[in-house]
Amino acid sequence: MGFLKNQFSSVIEWNENGAGVLFYKFQNQEIKKGSRLIIRPGQDAIFLYNGRVEGIFVEDGDYDIESDIIPFLTTLKSFKFGFSTPLRAEVLFINTKELLVKWGTKNAINLPTPGLPGGMPIRAFGAFNCRVAAHDVLIENLAGIRQTYTVGDVKERIIASLDQLLMSWISKEGRDMFNLQADARNIAKGIESELDADMRTLGIAISGFTIESFSYPEEIRKMQEKAAAQSMVGDMNKYTQMAAADSMGKGGGSGAGMASDMVGLQMGMAIGQQMVNQMNLNGGANGAPQMQGQPAAQGGQGPKFCPNCGTPTTGSRFCGNCGNQLL
């Protein structure tokens, strides 16, 4: 009898061998007499019959199917095991834990930037948390057609829309294109709200979305560092001369080296110009003191229009459009 009993009994459980799995569907849909259900901490077990939920069990433990589970099912509560009559039902295990996911943009995102026809190429990196929020929505939209669903699947869906969300929220919350990290919290908060709304249509919640860093091209980082270290942001002539000398020095006179570095030089000049414009705007709004090396204003008022490009001036020392010195 012991041999026959073992032939018709089984253990229904999920060992969670793979990390980062949100749900797992037990493979054998024929539950035999004498079978047991094991629910581990951080798991829920859901019994499905013909695609409908028969019962949800959330307390971890070891249960006898016949005495502990079947009486609490909906349409199957009167089911009786026969010698060769198994219970035909699906068992879906849900991971109730919150899972951490690291993310990063696949490619550089070109943010529209004045002075850079191709835009400012940046990358971003961070993390977010995900968890199952609604069993019924998950079953309807995912569990009915998938055997399992992982954080890799969540990440793939999020990355697909992340580029557009980053561009959208940087344009809304990014005050300084060259220091986006200062506004990272507000940018991340906006992105999280949209990602959470999208993933909840699958029964999954997104929380704790963070942007840990923005990565600029190496040429731009070097130009920013040099400009800051040598206080040349307000003097485009010195900035350009320094960049040109550095480019020729690294090229060593070779055509290939100089051609490559001139690309960085052109980008650096455009970035430097935008940094000047940014400082003019900040200085005009905050009444910042005159930078060392700039000539003092003569006659009190400068021209109302830039003599170089014709843009109306706002009382600043440099033209906000072309960077031409006004005072």
Q: State in words which class domain 99-215 has.
A: alpha beta
Q: Where are the domains of the chain?
A: 2-95, 99-215, 218-286
DSSP states along 169-198: HHHHH-S-TT-GGGGHHHHHHHHHHHHHHH
- First-last CA distance in the chain: 103
Q: What is the pLDDT along the chain (327 residues), one digit of tens a residue?
A: 333 344 445 899 999 876 799 999 997 778 888 899 999 999 999 999 988 899 999 999 999 999 999 999 988 888 887 656 788 899 999 999 999 999 999 889 988 877 777 788 899 999 999 999 999 999 999 988 898 999 999 999 999 999 999 999 998 998 888 889 999 999 999 999 999 999 999 999 999 999 999 998 887 777 767 766 655 445 555 556 666 666 666 555 554 454 455 455 556 556 656 665 665 555 554 544 444 444 444 445 667 667 776 667 777 777 766 767 776
Q: Burial letters for 53-69: b for 16+ Cβ neighbours within 10 Å, e otherwise?
A: ebbebeeeeebebbeeb
The CA angle 315-320-322, to the nearest 5 degrees, is: 130
pLDDT at 246: 64
Share of the chain residues as helix, strand and coil, in percent rounded to the nearest 5 = 40, 25, 35
Closest CA to 126 of 176, 171, 94, 165: 165
The CA angle 296-297-301, to the nearest 5 degrees, is: 170
Token representation of residue 200: 């909840």
pLDDT at 313: 76
pLDDT at 268: 58
Closest CA to 44 of 130, 134, 111, 159: 134
Please state the pTM of the whole predicted model: 0.66
